[in-house]
Copies of this chain bind each other. A is one copy, B any other.
């Protein structure tokens, strides 16, 4: 069994090459540029770990892991266009550097190349792999559409927000693990549990991300704390506060959402605390994390084999902040 760190290093070495033809450079250089920005490669490594839970890592799994990472980067390039984001990982996004039309095409071609890697799979489970990959790809698009819809909605229910997060973030983590497990020969019960482990872990991670954006230690978090509040972004915290605040606090919160008051972040945080959404978010995160661990426990393999996935979960989501 390999640790997350060890597999990350191996995957980075495997992925470190051009995935595209040379010409036209005006199309493929932007695609290479974006992949060169790096990333933690969590999803492809999950695919490798999902395989290794059940069997030695097979050559096919490296191909599927590569397809997953290319797919993920395709979604990031297109999301950045839709969100008009100037920066990603501190560097210019593809569209801000090369223009929107080229960014759009570079994303398209990256998705096509992801299918080139999938087409290298020779496993008997080939059609099932493509089916799950496609379903997940559709769901990720649906999640992005819901996210955009929510930006324009006055109110968003907590259930609808969780569904959106599940589609936009969680299903790809869950599917990455399951794709590896399918290749590793896992049975139906185990496939269910590893998918649910990933799905719950992904939601817990997003609750934590929303929490840290508001209440995190700026030195540790690595992003501007309060950025979501400044942007009126609908998060677990804001949605819950709008649902649970008493009329006076809700009126104050509504007024702050309309304003650009210099103390906006501080004042919104005070309301969040007054409504108890900070503690609520910790509890919610722990619920999803516990559900994830329960599904991990329920996978019928030796507990020792699960150690890398347990470490990964604890690395992605801390039990206390």
Contact = CB atoms under 8 A, between A and B. Distances in A.
A158 interface: no
B105 A130 contact: no
B115 A24 contact: no
14 contacts: A24-B142, A26-B149, A27-B141, A78-B104, A81-B104, A102-B148, A108-B111, A108-B141, A112-B141, A113-B134, A113-B138, A115-B134, A119-B131, A119-B134
Interface string A149-186: 10000000000000000000000000000000000000
A220 interface: no
Contacts of A107: 108
A109 B139 CA distance: 9
A137 interface: yes
Nearest to A78: B104
Interface in A194-231: none
A274 interface: no
A93 to B, nearest CB: 14
A101 interface: yes
User: What are the 10 A-B residue pairs with the smallest beta carbon separation, nearest first?
Assistant: A82-B101, A27-B145, A109-B141, A112-B137, A119-B130, A116-B134, A105-B141, A112-B138, A24-B145, A108-B141
A144 interface: yes
Contacts of A148: 101-102
Contacts of A146: 24
A127 interface: yes
Interface of A: 21, 23-24, 26-27, 78, 81-82, 100-102, 104-105, 107-109, 111-113, 115-116, 119, 126-127, 130-131, 134, 137-138, 141-142, 144-146, 148-149
A101 B107 CA distance: 14
Given A119-B131, A119-B134, A127-B119, A145 B102 contact: yes
Given A119-B127, A148-B101, A142 B78 contact: no
Contacts of A145: 24, 26-27, 102, 105
Contacts of A109: 137-138, 141-142
Nearest to A144: B105
Contacts of A108: 78, 107-108, 111, 141
Contacts of A138: 21, 109, 112-113
Contacts of A104: 78, 81-82, 104
Q: Which of A27, A81, A102 has the most CB of B within 10 A?
A: A27
Given A82-B100, A119-B130, A126-B126, 6 more contacts: A23-B142, A27-B141, A78-B105, A81-B104, A112-B138, A115-B134
A27 B101 contact: no
Nearest to A117: B134
Q: Which of A21, A105, A126, A149 has the most CB of B within 10 A?
A: A105
